[in-house]
Chains A and B, each alone.
Chain A
């Protein structure tokens, strides 16, 4: 078999696996399908952030704010809060657009600044959004503050209600399984966008800005516009992921959008390999499953050794994240799966 055929065989295999995965998972319990869904949400987020951090080289530490914006847009437009129940396909673009607007709002004042200022400002921005969500219950109750918004509509598409189990051709499709396929579709779209972007005129412009902004400007690249575009696109992906999160959960509160979550998404991108789509997906999946992995290992081990829980899995998870960030930067700065460009830079092989 030649390489082309092998590649297609591989793609087909992955596709079949991904399509059949929820059936296998639901044998182990619907909880596992939910875990897979959340892992996919993280992949969505990580790919969105990859545009900002990986492609354009702008470190955004408040990325979760866009996730929050998307989630709250969905929640406000499809819940009893304002009595609005707009359909899914109307809300999702609105969420993406509003998030993109926030992205531009964040990007605009920081455009002139160097990367590390940007990191702090984005971090502050993330906190501001969270503080507002927490306090916008007064004087007019918009977000219900720390209580959060409950009773958010599930996705209803073409007469299919994603909160109920349907039987198609003798196979039972539970709610989480339907979301799985919807997320898979979104994921496919976003992966395609990411890959196509990377090798486009825009992608090359971002890369040039990342490597040397002054040189990029000298080459005639509209650095301001390109940076804003990176912010807007990254933010809109975050908004879409947030909308899906709200629909799947049915309940959101500011608790879900804390700084730690931003750091987690950044860790995924850095660990997997900034700028490399496959690496980022791997990083996101690895880190998304860490809590589950710890739940199955750390707890029983500690119970067996000490008879009680000494260190909560949550703490171990954060310690692992922190250490991973440091160690990856020290020993494998381009990530587990480095992008081709970064690898070239690291090995000083500029001939290609």
Chain B
């Protein structure tokens, strides 16, 4: 039971980060039906910039919280700039092109960003300096760290802020109008290009924060971290219903929990020695408390993809979405 609660806590933390990254995908998709393949790289760049700043300030004697905040404050504008440049140079010229075209440029942008990051930050795994003192709380038998609480709290605050932005401001109204029908939105006086650029920039800012959180949570960053994280966040966005802002939040949290619980229990579930009939057949491999584990926790990364495929097959509109995958 303790393990269950513990994995639930870990899963929620991870899921909150996925949710923030997924928001970047879902907002862009909602407005121009483009999968911004390079979004994961924005997260990576956010983590990298924050790493550089935090590393430089770590010895300066500033309070740890201030160091992380300054790191985030530097990462966010950099990512916003990269996000804007990406939209302007690689996606805007192709807005009328066939769907395959912007997807291919997105892959190109992602490769270029990844390898530029490699040139700047080397191909090594970068370890964040351990400046945040480890505070732990015990809750229902699970150990919760201060960082985890902060991440989850911050994610919920950001989701609430974004929901306010989308549903309560002029920009949000313009975004929703553009998502529904760009031509009509333009006729109503919405500067569509500007709204789309704003969407990319907001998504990039969220991605940057997610990158900092991911980096400080795991304590490491590497130039390749963006692609898998991006894929999982995309899976989360699809799970929640792509194009749907609350959906991305739910999808992220669910995926994080599924992944953590899955990784925690798959070893037990697929240990054939737990099943009396099979254990007998396997004989000595199961004797003396031996194990015959088919799939261990090293299959953790598979869950997100399996969830993605299952959702696409059985409920393409996701948990909360009405938008359908094959909507033209």
A residues in contact (CB < 8 Å) with B: 57, 59, 61, 109-110, 112-117, 119-121, 123-125, 127-128, 131-132, 134-135, 138-139, 259, 263, 266, 270, 311, 315, 318-319, 321-326, 329-330, 333
Are A115 and B112 also in contact (CB < 8 A) when A121-B309, A123-B231, A125-B305 are?
Answer: no
Contact B231 A57 (CB under 8 A): no
B98-115 vs A, Cβ < 8 Å mask (1 yes, 0 no): 111111110111111011
Chain B residues lying within 8 Å of A330, measured Cβ to Cβ, are 90, 93-94, 105
Contact A326 B325 (CB under 8 A): no
Contact A124 B293 (CB under 8 A): no
Contact A329 B296 (CB under 8 A): no
Answer whether residue B279 sits at the interface, using C-beta atoms and an 8 A cutoff. Answer: no
- Among residues of A, the one whose C-beta sits closest to the C-beta of B306 is A128
Contact A333 B97 (CB under 8 A): yes
Are A135 and B104 also in contact (CB < 8 A) when A124-B309, A128-B305, A322-B109 are?
Answer: no
Chain A residues lying within 8 Å of B98, measured Cβ to Cβ, are 333
A57 touches which one: B90, B100, B119 (CB < 8 A)? B100
Chain A residues lying within 8 Å of B228, measured Cβ to Cβ, are 127
Chain A residues lying within 8 Å of B298, measured Cβ to Cβ, are 131, 134-135
Chain B residues lying within 8 Å of A109, measured Cβ to Cβ, are 309, 312-313
Within 8 A of A (CB), among B284-328: 285, 291-296, 298-299, 301-302, 304-306, 308-309, 312-313, 316, 325-327
Chain B residues lying within 8 Å of A322, measured Cβ to Cβ, are 107-112, 115
Complex CA gap A121/B301 in Å reads 14
Answer whether residue B116 sits at the interface, using C-beta atoms and an 8 A cutoff. Answer: yes
Contact A128 B109 (CB under 8 A): no
Contact B294 A117 (CB under 8 A): no
- Among residues of B, the one whose C-beta sits closest to the C-beta of A315 is B115
Answer whether residue B250 sits at the interface, using C-beta atoms and an 8 A cutoff. Answer: no
Q: How many A-B residue pairs lie within 8 Å, measured between CB atoms?
A: 130
Contact B111 A329 (CB under 8 A): no
Q: How many residues of B contact A (CB 8 A)?
A: 55
B292 touches which one: A119, A131, A139 (CB < 8 A)? A139
B99 touches which one: A110, A116, A311 (CB < 8 A)? A116
Contact B108 A113 (CB under 8 A): no
Are A113 and B312 also in contact (CB < 8 A) when A323-B108, A330-B105 are?
Answer: yes
Complex CA gap A143/B30 in Å reads 42
Complex CA gap A144/B40 in Å reads 31
Shortest CB-to-CB span from B110 to chain A, Å, is: 7
14 new A-B contacts at CB < 8 Å, known A110-B309, A124-B235, A325-B107 = A113-B312, A124-B305, A131-B299, A138-B293, A139-B285, A139-B294, A270-B104, A321-B108, A322-B110, A322-B115, A329-B94, A330-B93, A333-B97, A333-B98
Contact B111 A318 (CB under 8 A): yes
- Among residues of B, the one whose C-beta sits closest to the C-beta of A262 is B107
A-B residue pairs in contact (CB < 8 Å), sample of 20 = A57-B100, A59-B100, A112-B325, A117-B35, A119-B35, A120-B308, A125-B305, A128-B305, A134-B298, A138-B293, A259-B227, A270-B104, A311-B119, A322-B110, A325-B105, A325-B108, A326-B90, A329-B94, A329-B97, A329-B101
Complex CA gap A179/B265 in Å reads 48
Complex CA gap A311/B181 in Å reads 46
Shortest CB-to-CB span from A260 to chain B, Å, is: 8
Answer whether residue B118 sits at the interface, using C-beta atoms and an 8 A cutoff. Answer: yes
B residues in contact (CB < 8 Å) with A: 34-35, 37, 89-90, 93-94, 97-105, 107-112, 114-116, 118-119, 227-228, 231, 234-235, 238, 285, 291-296, 298-299, 301-302, 304-306, 308-309, 312-313, 316, 325-327
B316 touches which one: A113, A311, A318, A329 (CB < 8 A)? A113
- Among residues of A, the one whose C-beta sits closest to the C-beta of B93 is A330
Are A120 and B231 also in contact (CB < 8 A) when A114-B325, A329-B94 are?
Answer: yes
Shortest CB-to-CB span from A127 to chain B, Å, is: 7
Chain A residues lying within 8 Å of B231, measured Cβ to Cβ, are 120, 123-124, 127
Complex CA gap A119/B119 in Å reads 28
Chain B residues lying within 8 Å of A123, measured Cβ to Cβ, are 231
Complex CA gap A128/B93 in Å reads 34
Are A266 and B316 also in contact (CB < 8 A) when A125-B305, A138-B296, A322-B115 are?
Answer: no
Shortest CB-to-CB span from A126 to chain B, Å, is: 10
The 5 nearest A-B residue pairs measured at CB: A325-B108, A322-B111, A124-B305, A322-B112, A326-B108
Chain A residues lying within 8 Å of B309, measured Cβ to Cβ, are 109-110, 121, 124-125
Complex CA gap A138/B295 in Å reads 8
Complex CA gap A326/B306 in Å reads 30
Most buried by A among B101, B108, B118, B227: B108
Chain B residues lying within 8 Å of A125, measured Cβ to Cβ, are 305, 309
Contact B294 A325 (CB under 8 A): no
